[in-house]
Amino acid sequence: MSDQETHLIWVLADDRAGNINQAVGVAEALAQPFKRIDIAYTNLVKLPNFIRRASLIGVDDESRARLVAPWPDLVIAAGRRTAPIARWIKKQSRGHSRICQIMRPDGGENAFDLIAVPAHDRIPVRENIVEIPGAPHRVTETRLLVEADKWRSYFKGLPSPRFAVIIGGSTKKTTFTPAMAEELIARAIDAARSVDGSLLVTTSRRTGQECEELIVSRLADSGVTYHLHDWKSQDENPYFGYLALADVLIVTSDSVSMCCEAAAAPGGVYIYAPDGLANVRHQRLHQNLYEGGYARPLLPDTELVPFKHPSLQPARLVAQRCLELLGAPADQDR
């Protein structure tokens, strides 16, 4: 895409890391310079978008000061709370700015030039909606090569095959229980032990203290060579090194972004989705990944072996549609 005409591109980056990664991932896939506009909110952002509409309601004063002309050719935003801001920018530009919204905008769908939604959300198809196989992210083949070079010497003492265990945890609606933690780490230890391999294990803020302590204890008693990154650690996070260098990746089912990022990596991906950990929407994502050959379910009788799969790159699909938008006449009526 580097031979395309350069445009003025803004990325609206709010206080949710998942939203930022998706929007920046699409912008990076355009292979053009872009400007990140950091957005912070007031309590009024809690108002529904049918009230906020095309406005800066709920945006704090410092963020408002960043939203000034010259108006961009393209705005990329993610999440419900940025949607009214993107609409406001288009209004100020008198329809010049194209707006690409990732995930449902929660109202005013006709105002957007492009809405990118994962297929598992099952939104009715419209002319301005593109379905993508999962969430956009920033894990490209090039980044994985760079991370592999960076971390290879660090992990050289860990015998192959390497099994990465990427652990999320509880969400607002689901609970990652100690029994789940026990089953997951036992499966990983058994798999590594059976082939004289090693483990790369990372936990998250949502894993929970009891589950973390259980995992640490089981690893210490396993006799298997391992590297553990505790989310509270001050050491540099080796997450992308894990993705780049693992032969097998085991990821918990509670996070859309973790599953999609793992599916971009070269190692064989297995999703641990016990009853009660993944909601219905996430289950639909998993099924899409299985059907696309990006991942396999971790079932009781599943043998954890490396396998090749396509690299999941939804950001590129969205970026291509954005380029098509920039090459077409503006729709002043939206």
Q: pLDDT-derived band of residue 5, with 50, 70 and 90 as boundaries? A: low
Q: pLDDT-derived band of residue 313, with 50, 70 and 90 as boundaries? A: very high
Query: Could you tell me which residue, 3 or 305, shows the higher pLDDT?
Result: 305
pLDDT, tens only, 274-284: 999 998 889 99
Query: Class assignment of domain 9-137+315-326?
Result: alpha beta
What is the rounded CA–CA span in Å between residue 83 and residue 52? 9
Residue 236 reports pLDDT greater than 50: yes
Nearest to 317 by CA among 107, 13, 26: 26
Beta partners for residue 35, in sequence order: 10
pLDDT, tens only, 54-70: 999 999 999 999 999 99
Looking at residue 124, its pLDDT comes to: 74
Looking at residue 334, its pLDDT comes to: 47
Looking at residue 62, its pLDDT comes to: 97
> Which residues lie closer than 8 Å to 289 by C-beta, 6 or more apart?
133, 134, 259, 260, 263, 269, 271, 295, 312
Residue 263 reports pLDDT greater than 70: yes
Q: Where are the domain boundaries for CATH 3.40.50.2000 in the chain?
A: 141-297
Residue 76 phi/psi, 5-degree rounding, is: -115, 125
| pLDDT (mean) for 203-221 | 97
pLDDT, tens only, 155-178: 999 999 999 999 999 999 999 999
What is the rounded CA–CA span in Å between residue 215 and residue 306? 23
For residue 23, give both structure tokens.
Answer: 């929007």
One-letter amino acid at 131 equals E
Q: In the chain, where do the E strands start and end?
A: 9-13, 35-38, 74-78, 98-102, 114-118, 129-132, 162-166, 198-202, 225-229, 248-252, 268-272, 296-297
Q: Provide the whole-model pTM.
A: 0.90
Q: Supply the Cα-derived Rg of the chain in whole angstroms.
A: 21
Query: Could you tell me which residue, 334 or 205, shows the higher pLDDT?
Result: 205
Looking at residue 330, its pLDDT comes to: 56
What is the rounded CA–CA span in Å between residue 17 and residue 46? 18
Looking at residue 21, its pLDDT comes to: 94
Residue for token pair 């599916």: 263
Q: pLDDT-derived band of residue 122, with 50, 70 and 90 as boundaries? A: confident
What is the rounded CA–CA span in Å between residue 157 and residue 173? 40
What is the rounded CA–CA span in Å between residue 15 and residue 11? 13
Looking at residue 327, its pLDDT comes to: 86
Contact 290, 297 (CB under 8 A): yes
Looking at residue 52, its pLDDT comes to: 97
Looking at residue 216, its pLDDT comes to: 97
pLDDT, tens only, 22-46: 999 999 999 999 999 999 999 999 9
| pLDDT (mean) for 99-112 | 94
pLDDT, tens only, 85-99: 999 999 999 999 999
Q: pLDDT-derived band of residue 1, with 50, 70 and 90 as boundaries? A: very low
Q: pLDDT-derived band of residue 292, with 50, 70 and 90 as boundaries? A: very high
Query: Class assignment of domain 141-297?
Result: alpha beta
